């Protein structure tokens, strides 16, 4: 994840997919596909925890595909 600060910010601003975590209803998974990473084309997932008066990034990671969960964005 080194040097991916810009991509993490872009994923939060313009996600392709946002899903609710299956294990924690207060967590959202923001996804955007990145063609050029150190390990090839991958989905960047930024995990955000929401609280009543706060929200913060828990972690970010690259994955082959988005996890299952309730899709919040885009709405259908």
17-20, strands of its sheet edge to edge: 54-63, 42-51, 27-34, 17-20, 71-73
Q: Tens place of pLDDT for every residue, the chain, 76 residues? A: 888 999 999 999 999 999 999 999 999 999 999 999 989 999 999 999 999 999 999 999 999 999 999 999 997 6
Helix (DSSP H) and strand (DSSP E) numbers for the chain: 1, 5
C-alpha pair distances (Å), 30 with each of 44, 61: 8, 11
**Measured distance CA(68)–CA(66) in Å, rounded:** 7
């Amino acid at each position: 994840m080194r040097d991916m600060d810009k991509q993490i910010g872009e994923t939060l601003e313009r996600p392709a997919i946002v899903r609710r975590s299956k294990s924690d209803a207060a967590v959202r998974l923001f996804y955007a596909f990145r063609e050029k990473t150190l390990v090839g084309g991958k989905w960047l997932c930024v995990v955000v925890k929401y609280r009543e008066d706060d929200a913060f990034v828990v972690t970010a990671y690259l994955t082959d595909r988005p996890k299952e969960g309730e899709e919040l964005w885009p709405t259908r």
